[in-house]
Amino acid sequence: MHKILLALILLSVPVPIALAHSGSEQEQQACTRDVQRFCRKLMDQGDFTILACLKEHRPKLSPACRNVLVSHGQ
């Protein structure tokens, strides 16, 4: 469940209100550009695909996005 919530945060897509509070606005904003830059073509393939994409591009991610991944055990 934790990974799904992280993926939703990273995607910054509209989610049900109950899930929207799982991450701070700062966490959501931290990876928005990185998702759009590196994983845009994969956005329709599911949360875990986006998470895997971000991990694959970890060296190129912004420091803020890398910190979000680390803080969530990724």
Give the pLDDT of residue 18.
27
Domain span at residue 51 reads 2-13+30-71
Q: What percent of the chain has pLDDT over 70?
A: 69
21 belongs to a structural domain? no
Question: How far is the C-alpha of 59 from the C-alpha of 48, rounded, in Å?
Answer: 19
22 belongs to a structural domain? no
52 belongs to a structural domain? yes
What's the rounded mean pLDDT across residues 9-31?
Answer: 57
18 belongs to a structural domain? no
Q: Count the domains in the chain.
A: 1
**Whether residue 30 has pLDDT greater than 60:** yes
19 belongs to a structural domain? no
The Cβ-side half-sphere exposure at 49, using a 13 Å CA radius, reads 8
39 belongs to a structural domain? yes
35 belongs to a structural domain? yes
